Structure 1
Amino acid sequence: MMLLIVALVSFVAAVIPMLFYAYVAWSLDHHEKEPLWLLAVTFLWGAVPAVVLSLFAELLFDVPLRLAFSSPNAGFLSVALIAPIVEEIFKAIPLVFIFIFFRHEFDGLMDGLLYGALVGFGFAMTENFFYFLGSSSQGGAAFLGTIVLRAFVFGLNHALYSSMFGLGLALARYATSQATRALAPLGGLALAIFIHMLHNFLNSTGSLICLGSLFVAWGGVLGWLALVWWALREEARLIRQELQDEVESGLLTPRQVEAAASYRARMQARNHLMRNGQRQRARLLDKICLLAAELAFKKRQFRLLGNENGNAEMIAALRQEIANIQEALYSESA
């Protein structure tokens, strides 16, 4: 009975925080929401295949390490050197898949940060579950301490690491230089591995030096939030720029473009409509804002990359869908 309770507590403590973090990361993507199924696949890859493949690879490397080094040194090298390399490589796989086969969904910096964070949250969820179970044999204090440390104090670590590779892919997405296209993803992966190594190294010292891992973790999280803020500002600037001619053509109004670019402006417009009992108009406005943002991203793709993945057809379809919603919006106001 006690084992069942421990397993249940471990499961809840592993799953709930990571799902919450994933939701927060998703909600930060204000302008153009990614397909939920693709986000779910990314999260689940981190939760199952990436963990299994990493465990298998680490066991393979563990054998020669233990033959070449004493047990404490081999364990330290495995944690501080081998684990960061193999884990970041296997977490990178779904991001490469999305980048190659769903390039039309990989629009910019925010997408790279989001997909990278989600695969990291999935990985942390499964890894934490097994860590929680393992710590339960050391007593209640160790069990609770492990939950607090891994789910909350260091709960964002894996998302931070893998989002660096996502950032590298995002930088390569619209790069005009062949060197940048090749080096940005490699640099992102190297940075992910380095931060992961640094955290594991500091956390494995068993002395006050391990407190440095706190600065690495939370300094990295603050840096990640700064990147999100910058990415959203750049996306807002892009939306305003790319949709200017849509205002001139009459497809969109200036207020609709501003609502598409600014989450605050959108919420103000939406809340105004809701307070006046115009719920249907508020829903239509939301749709227009999301479609307008997607139109802006597709126009940039067409401008920089040509008719990649049928960008011209997507642009025409988005314009038509917006025009249809505009008709419905005007009929609601009539």
Structure 2
Amino acid sequence: MPQADVARIFYSSPLSRPRNAIFAITVLATLLVASLYSLFRNYFSALSPADVQVFFSSQIAVLLMTLLPLAILWFLDRREPESRWLYLIAVLWGAVIATAIALPINAFIFQAVGDFVALHPDIKAILGEGAGNMLALPIAGPIVEEIAKGLGVLLLFWLFRSEFDNVRDGFIYGALIGIGFNLLETPLYITNGFHSTGDMPLYFQIADRFALFGFAGHALYTGLFGMGLGLARQTTRRWLRYAAPIGGWLLGFSGHFLNNALGVLIALSVYLTTGKPLADIPETAAATPAVVEPFLSQWVQHSAMRLVGFFPFFLIVGVMLWQSGIWERNVIREQLADEQEPVITPDEYEAVKGDRLFRTRRIAGCDRRTSTTIVKAQDELAFRKWRLKQHGQDVDTDPLVASWRNELLRLRGAKMPAPC
């Protein structure tokens, strides 16, 4: 990464001080090593060779499926793309650190709830043999996992504030951490299923966890918290700066709780309707139990169920992303209006005014890479100017504004007034 890009990422960050940066890198590296050790000690060391083979086979499948939600986030991020290093950090936090934090705590909660149910047989009489797991799921997942993942979003918000501009940035960072968590959790569930039953629930787990292109689970839950932080960064209302992150986390928690509490709700409804626990209800014999339902069919079913069940959450995300797109285009149009060549040419500004929801402007006469770099620099300049004006600071004396203007001068080749 060029030195100028590194300086911009760390601008106004606590990491801009070498001592803080060394401390943060040391802590992050320690967390990463400790997390890998914890995962190996608490999980992988107990696996058989067959379990390990299943884990790595399913991990490859999950990696391939993860490319799709990553591509969608990359498209959402097209106007002001974040650093690829931040993408990697976010995914690693979700996949390794958040998973390692959640795994032993969740195991403790499941054990404690199981012991509680064993002392209260009336609970098992209502919910059936799986009462312990049913009750532990809504406690462990929503609380422990959303805190573990949310810590990563908070760190990005605090340490890389110059890269955390608005609602869309917040959703992207939160969703990346959720995608990372899903990246490791899915193979764990597949391996656990194989270890318990001898069958490999590959299609079911991937269809469920990648329903709606991977945005119906952890990416949604943590993305909602990220949106709250992004709104706090974007708004000029003081009360909303404090309320938005809390509201975002509670929304993510609620979605996760709803998903994990479905088993309890179904068991209770069955008991109230029939007077019997779910396990005592006779099942209809399957005609061909050995036949595996095609993956696409399972994916469509899971996606349809999640779309209906989580519709209010998807509506919130959709409206906020749509509004953030309008906000981004307005900021770019307003803040570049007083800029001259070589920052932006009249023809380029006309393209700015004509930018639309699903269309990204191009710089005429440039190759794709140069065009993308110029557009990014112009957009970054616009967002920086907006931020300074909101805080009543002088735009023309800001080092980051000068840096983006100089970058545009360099991209066009010294003092050439032409587009490239």
Structure 1 gaps, min length 5: none
Inter-partner Cα distance in structure 2 for 1:103 and 1:306:
18
Partner of 1:229: 322
Matched residue type, 1:303? K
2:194 alignment partner in structure 1: 136
- Tell me how many residue pairs correspond in the alignment: 324
**Aligned residue among 341, 349, 373 for 1:287:** 373
Distance in 1, Cα, partners of 2:223 & 2:312? 15
Partner residue, 1:251: 343
Structure 2: distance between partners of 1:286 and 1:213:
36
Seen in structure 2, the aligned counterparts of structure 1 residues 167 and 311 have a Cα distance that, compared at 3 Å, is farther
Alignment partners' CA distance in 2, 1:32 and 1:333: 20
Q: 1:142 to 1:265 in 2, by over 3 A?
A: closer
Structure-2 residue corresponding to 1:150: 209
Q: Secondary structure at the match of 1:245?
A: coil
Q: How far did 1:237 drift?
A: 1.2
Quick check: 2:232–2:245 contact (8 Å CA) kept in 1?
A: yes
In structure 2, C-alpha distance between the alignment counterparts of 1:222 and 1:254, rounded to whole Å: 38
Alignment match of 1:196 (pick from 256, 260, 263): 256
Q: Summarize deviations over 1:18-41 as a string: whole Å, max 9, x none.
A: 233123212221211101101110
Residue of structure 2 in register with 1:241 after alignment:
334
CA change 1:201–1:214 in 2 (3 A) is farther
| CA-to-aligned-CA distance 1:221-272 (integer Å, 9 cap, x gap) | 465344323312220111001111114x7631233235457376655x45x6
TM-score by length of 2: 0.68
Higher alpha-carbon deviation: 19-28 or 140-149: 140-149
SS in 1 for 2:398: helix
Separation in structure 1 between the aligned mates of residue 259 and residue 139 of structure 2, nearest angstrom: 11
Distance in 1 separating the partners of 2:115 and 2:51: 35
1:61 equivalent to 2:109? Answer: yes
Corresponding residue of 1:47: 95
Give the superposition deviation at 1:134.
1.9
Alpha-carbon distance in structure 2 between the residues aligned to 1:217 and 1:168: 18
Bigger shift: residues 206-215 or 31-40: 206-215
Structure whose alpha-carbon radius of gyration is higher: 2
> 1:93-242 alignment to 2 at 5 Å?
93-137=151-195, 138=197, 140=199, 142-152=201-211, 155-156=214-215, 157-202=217-262, 205=265, 213=306, 215-217=308-310, 220-221=313-314, 223-242=316-335
Tell me how far apart the structure 2 counterparts of residues 69 and 239 of structure 1 sit (CA, whole Å).
58
Change in CA separation of 1:191 and 1:179 when aligned onto 2, cut-off 3 Å: same
For 2:315 and 2:150, how far apart are their aligned partners in 1? 22
C-alpha distance in structure 2 between counterparts of 1:190 and 1:196, whole Å: 10
Query: Which position in structure 1 is the counterpart of 2:32?
Result: none
**1:27 lines up with 2:85 in the alignment:** no
Question: CA shift at 1:100, angstroms?
Answer: 1.2
CA distance in 1, matches of 2:419, 2:325: 31
Give the secondary structure class of the aligned counterpart of 2:261.
helix
Contact residue 251 and residue 322 of structure 1 kept, 8 A: yes
1:328, distance to aligned residue in structure 2 (A):
5.7
Report Cα offsets for 1:280-331 as digits up to 9, x if no partner: xx543322211000000000110112559x9811001111221232346948
How has the CA–CA distance of structure 1 residues 50 and 260 changed in structure 2, closer, same or farther, with 3 Å as cutoff? farther
Query: What is the CA deviation profile of residues 135-164 of structure 1, one whole-angstrom value per residue up to 9, with x for unaligned ones?
Result: 235355744323322234683211000011
Q: Within 2, Cα distance between the matches of 1:198 and 1:45? A: 24
Does the 8 Å CA contact 1:166/1:188 hold for their aligned counterparts? yes
Q: Is the 8 A contact 2:113 2:132 kept in 1?
A: yes
Asked whether 1:322 is paired with 2:408, we answer yes
1:252–1:142 Cα change, 3 Å: closer
> TM-score under structure 1 normalisation?
0.84
What is the aligned-residue RMSD (CA, Å)?
Answer: 3.2
Who is 2:41 aligned against? none
